[in-house]
Structure 1
């Protein structure tokens, strides 16, 4: 029973495993030109659905209260979309001399280029009792920024699939990402009360569509006999991902707790999670567009597929530790505050 309960709770992780296993068993179903017609259903309909869903669910009307803390937002966005990818790029220059699969290394770079997720950083910040408003703002704002910046970063650090011209990439991004997102936001304005009442399962909808994208991506992989993924590279990538996450969490903690930082302990919690988490929901569709037709797309996607559960697992494990630190620090601040 406990296993079933656990599987129900982590259904998306189970879904990823099943999607990859299904693709391995019968890749012909989800390949381009196959019965699922992913070149249409995934490249356009599925991706547009995810971003329309994001537009519907993003509570931009609640973000104005968090706007005042400009320094906090700048720190998170610069760390996420500038420092993170640049540091990964430097790190990969060292790793390039190792025998690790080069496409997995490129996948690590794509992780660095991704915007923050809409949900996990907020959930963990809330679990600790940190600055939830700041987490919500930066997750939402980072997602909007990521629509423009992430493709540019991907093209800057990795280039694109040679079969897809630059203008085509951005026209598809505009039609399948920007337009659905804007439409979702417009629709939200008219049905906001209904959405608040009914609380549709936005996360589950996006995750379900995402599983289809993951499935078809791996169908392409397993149908290509030239692709070989060695287990040594995979294990090393797993270790590297956990190391990167821990290192960056520690780094953001050090930066945000300096005496002159101006951040409260609650701010630090939001910074730790928002600066180091990366979006799978936005990331996979973007990779699908930028690297359309690329024979190694699934290998490039693997680090992001690992990073997503890893960030949730690591964050969940660290919640009690971070919470006890925050509570003790807040008590310390109250004790040292002069009485009037």
Structure 2
């Protein structure tokens, strides 16, 4: 119950940021200063993520290559494929910018903290989940910009080169993560004394980025374009899409013969998309684009996936997934 209340608090805070950006949007010079502060917070967040993850867990998980191949296929092949296949249906009902945001969500890596947390609650393979989720975020720093440049920006901006975006993402996300790994022996003991530090930075940074993104969108006239009917349709689309992905992530590992612990970890790592990495990437990739509309789908999808996965993880902790039949 406390976990559900904590989840609700963060959801409420996200809504508050959107309302605050609607009433008091940051703009002009203040927006530029706020953007610099937000970038610094993002770098600190990924430094803490790098320091938190155990190298031993990463090494142990890397050996389980079949597991990671399945998660990688879901994250960077199946998700994008389904998103592209849905274009004839979604583009007319969502419009160009929201469909871009939905497709961008499909191109993102998996979550890290929630994938590991839900896998742990459901008694899955935590070591492989740690490795897979971390690897997904690292490789996503390169794959996501390439997918975006080819399927979104490459069609709207002639001659768009993803190289500069990859370099910016590397400097903002990957370099701090690697520094965190290198300095882990010195930083992690202090993190153990303040276990809520990463969560605080994680949520605070997302809230800052969401406020900044929606401020720019409101100034550009977001709520004159997106109606409450469109929000309901987008929520329904995200719910249907998540249901389809979860069904595939539940049955395919069984068919492939993975054991119970691996089934659970694959399910949670394969069915989710990251908001923590997604919004900073959007800031870099979609310069000059309606950022508020771009990040709206991942915000909605993220909240739905957390609530649904929380229920499933709690259920599986009491009713374990059955072993695959020989």
Q: Which region of structure 1 is more displaced relative to structure 2, 313-322 or 172-181?
A: 313-322
Which residue in 1 is equivalent to 2:106? 112
Q: TM-score, normalised by structure 1?
A: 0.86
Contact 2:125 2:265 in 1 (8 A): yes
Alignment CA distance shift 1:99-1:246 (3 Å): closer
Alignment CA distance shift 1:39-1:208 (3 Å): closer
1:77 aligns with 2:75: no
Which residue in 2 is equivalent to 1:255? 252
Query: Which one of 269, 294, 298 corresponds to residue 300 of structure 1?
Result: 294
| Pairwise CA distance, 1:297 | 1.0
Which residue in 1 is equivalent to 2:24? 26
| CA displacement 1:125-157 (0-9 Å, x = unmatched) | 112112222211111111111111111122122
1:12 aligns with 2:7: no
Contact 1:101 1:233 in 2 (8 A): no
1:244 aligns with 2:238: no
Which residue in 1 is equivalent to 2:88? 93
Alignment CA distance shift 1:39-1:204 (3 Å): closer
| Pairwise CA distance, 1:51 | 2.1
Query: Which one of 305, 309, 316 corresponds to residue 303 of structure 2?
Result: 309
Instruction: Report how many aligned residue pairs link the two structures.
Output: 323
| Pairwise CA distance, 1:195 | 3.1
Cα distance in 2 for partners of 1:177, 1:73 equals: 22
Alignment CA distance shift 1:33-1:197 (3 Å): closer
| Pairwise CA distance, 1:200 | 5.0
| Pairwise CA distance, 1:65 | 1.9
| CA displacement 1:161-208 (0-9 Å, x = unmatched) | 859864432332232122222222222133333334543520221210
Q: How does 1:161-180 map to 2 (within 5 A)?
A: 166-180=162-176
Q: TM-score, normalised by structure 2?
A: 0.89
Alignment CA distance shift 1:48-1:32 (3 Å): farther
Which residue in 2 is equivalent to 1:209? 205
Which structure 1 residue ranges, 5 or more long, are not aligned? none
Contact 1:125 1:131 in 2 (8 A): yes
Contact 2:128 2:265 in 1 (8 A): yes
Contact 1:56 1:188 in 2 (8 A): yes
Which residue in 2 is equivalent to 1:270? 265
Alignment CA distance shift 1:140-1:223 (3 Å): same
Which structure 2 residue ranges, 5 or more long, are not aligned? none
Aligned residue for 1:112, secondary structure, equals helix
Alignment CA distance shift 1:190-1:273 (3 Å): same
| Pairwise CA distance, 1:108 | 0.9
Structure showing greater radius of gyration is 1
Name the Cα RMSD after superposition.
Answer: 2.6
